[in-house]
Amino acid sequence: MSLIETHDLRRVYELDSGRVVALDHASLSIEKSDFIAVMGPSGSGKSTFMNLIGCLDKPTSGHYRLAGTAVESLDANGLARLRNREIGFVFQQFNLLPRIDALSNVELPMIYAGFDKKTRRDRALHALGRVGLAERAHHRPMQLSGGQQQRVAIARALVNSPSLLLADEPTGALDSRTAIEILALFQELNREGVTIVLVTHDADVGRHARRLIRFKDGKILDDHRQTPLDARDLLSAEVAA
């Protein structure tokens, strides 16, 4: 069974200015351990698609199954439970709480999931170690670089062992070298079996995924596999230069 299955997924908004079809009959399947880049211009439907597969919104019609669960049948509480159990989110602006340290930020999803204090701390430290930041566990966000903050956000996204890591423009607020470092981390996680769907407008970022899906006017315009750029090679080339 695929991790994600959508069939004729549609999202229609009824606005004062008229009816807007934001997503139009999107059907696709995403296997476990895949790494997908979702691309398209503003208004193409990629953000609507992200909101739907991230269980942040419900389709107007069509079907969506995540890890075997029929998402369109869930109420708001059901969507929240499924999000917390199956999806880790990484955003462009990190969304870390500034007054608590990295460790406490990473623990947050486990508080909502009902884990005890010791389990939260152990798993958060492990997640920070996984992204190379164990020694920064007690630093607050303002004491970390942009790349380090994004690594904390990735650790937070991973801490509940989700089925899906959903990244929305995760390199958009980073300089080019730091962006490559984050892409190298995503590729490493993917090699470990993490399923990643990355939404981006940057073609260079999209080249690091193993599959590319392009949206236009609410429809899937193109869906193909590609040989990804290896971010480790780019980092090695910079060091050599």
The CATH number given to whatever domain includes residue 125 is: 3.40.50.300
Tokens for 157? 């996204």
The predicted model scores a pTM of 0.92
pLDDT of residue 60: 94
pLDDT of residue 112: 81
Structural domain for 45, as ranges: 4-240
pLDDT of residue 84: 87
Number of domains the chain is built from = 1
Q: In tens digits, what is the pLDDT along the chain, a chain of 241 residues?
A: 699 999 999 999 998 888 999 999 999 999 999 999 999 998 899 999 999 999 999 899 999 999 999 998 899 999 988 998 899 999 989 999 999 999 999 999 898 888 899 999 999 999 999 999 999 999 999 999 999 999 999 999 999 999 999 999 999 889 999 999 999 999 999 999 999 999 999 999 999 999 999 999 999 999 999 999 999 998 888 766 5
